[in-house]
Amino acid sequence: MRTPEQWRELALEIGRDLGFDLVGVASAEPSARLAMFPDWVDAGMAGEMGYLARRSEDGHYVRERITAVWPWARSVLCAAVVYNAEAPRSTEFAASRERGWISRYAWGEDYHLTLRDKLEDWRQRLAAEAGEEQFHATVDTAPIVEREVAWRAGLGWQGKNTCLIHPKKGSYMFLGTLVTSIAMAAEEAPVPDRCGSCTRCLEACPTGALTAYKMDASRCLAYLNIELRGAIPEHFREPMGNNVLGCDICQDVCPWNRRAATTTAPEFQPRPGLVAPRLAELGAMSEEDYRERFRHSAVKRAKFAGLQRNIAVAMGNSGNPEFLLQLQSWEAGADAVLAEHARWALARIGEARIEAQTES
């Protein structure tokens, strides 16, 4: 019979062998750091993401305690995989009048699929050694606050932008967890906070979604242009800039990402045309083109209608009259939400043209 320390060493050795960039172990016991979670949800900061407000039978939010979902859980194995490819940052294209921005994490294959396969291999190899012990692998789809667990497992610290940051890897990382009934020795010395007095991420956030170590998800561009269905509130449209899916700003300005690790893994290399894509090309896509182009891609999370809505906003923010015909076509279309966003974008381009004429 293995000791908790021996189980830890075996699990981490297997994880490294499978190619995870970082691995660690945390206890499945409730964490004092999650005491703020109910207040965060109750303050409306989860927006319309109702799954974050799911409660257990005793009335607590399920994300407060891992054992609320898996009563047998004793340990959580955490893994991180770097997805950062050698490519420009969003801040280099923020003023572009022709191009949009798709978040870095969505350039390659859908991380839910690639990371899930690795976690399943991890589970199988441990299960072969563990007899009747239980396991459950999760990738961003289960009621676990992954960044908090990963911090306790020693994979990095949670920065002021709320992302997990590793001093050598940076923050462009996917996280996955493997909950288990095996008692393993947990990390005893989490990585210390190294944000210091830096506030670049807080100052760069275009919607004011960030305060130090806390994000109001209802104001985050990644929520507004992916998770939110229907109309984007008007006061958030101009701050969206050219972001058509997600947002990388708070990571791109982080000093710890200046020399962030990059990956050569083929599944995370950018698909053709996804790094600062041309808005005209994106806008011309049919739904069939969309399905084919983004097969096995995280871009599909926004749905075709949502992506078109976002493209319309980006076109409006560009001030580029070359997009007028496309926007007029959408304005006259059957999709009421898209038509309203196209109408807003047309007005925005009109304002930009008037300003340009005045200045000249």
Band (pLDDT 50/70/90 cuts) for residue 1 is confident
- Report whether pLDDT(359) > 80: no
Band (pLDDT 50/70/90 cuts) for residue 360 is low
pLDDT of residue 19: 96
Band (pLDDT 50/70/90 cuts) for residue 60 is confident
pLDDT of residue 191: 95
CB crowding 74-102: b at 16 or more within 10 Å, else e:
bbbbbbbbbbbbeeebbeebeebebbbbb
Torsion of CA 290, 296, 300, 304, to 10 degrees: 20
Band (pLDDT 50/70/90 cuts) for residue 351 is confident
| Candidates 17, 39, 42, 140; catalytic one | 140
Cβ-based neighbours of 305, under 8 Å, separated by 6 or more: 335, 337, 338
Structure tokens at 293: 């182009």
Average pLDDT, rounded, for the chain: 95
- Sorted by where each begins, the domain ranges of the chain are 4-83+109-180, 200-359
Mean pLDDT, to the nearest integer, of 162-182? 98
Q: What's the rounded Cα separation, in Å, for the pair 276 and 94?
A: 10
pLDDT of residue 141: 86
Cβ-based neighbours of 269, under 8 Å, separated by 6 or more: 85, 107, 108
Band (pLDDT 50/70/90 cuts) for residue 59 is confident
| Lowest-confidence pick of 38-52, 150-164, 326-340 | 38-52
140 is known as an active-site residue: yes
Band (pLDDT 50/70/90 cuts) for residue 58 is confident
Any idea what DSSP says for residue 226? I
DSSP one-letter string for 60-100: SBGGG-GGGT-TT--EEEEEEEE---S---GGGSTT-SSB-
- Report whether pLDDT(30) > 60: yes
Band (pLDDT 50/70/90 cuts) for residue 75 is very high
238-281 per-position pLDDT tens digit: 999 999 999 999 999 999 999 999 999 999 999 999 999 999 99
- Report whether pLDDT(355) > 70: no
